[in-house]
Amino acid sequence: MGKLQSSLFLSNSNRIREGHFVVIAAEGQEPKKFIIKLDHLNNPEFLKLLKEAEEEFGFSHEGALELPCRPDELQRILSI
């Protein structure tokens, strides 16, 4: 969880409002950037995507997290 926290909060800290972080839905023709409220860290489907991202991409980079899903799929998960 420590690596996730540093990845979420160290990058873009001066441009993203407090209580939010950036992810990119990386699959599909055009990846899309989303600004996510921290509240979504309680969403089991979103947490599943974060786990998949850790397995596929790792959390050793700075900047927005890439999620292994299409933008429309992430939008559906966020609307729950």
Whether residue 5 is predicted with pLDDT greater than 50 in this model: the reply is: no
E runs forming strands in the chain = 20-25, 32-37, 65-67
Q: Are 70 and 25 in contact (CB under 8 A)?
A: yes
| Residue-wise pLDDT tens digits, 22-57 | 999 999 889 999 999 999 999 999 999 999 999 987
Ordered by start, the domain boundaries in the chain are 2-78
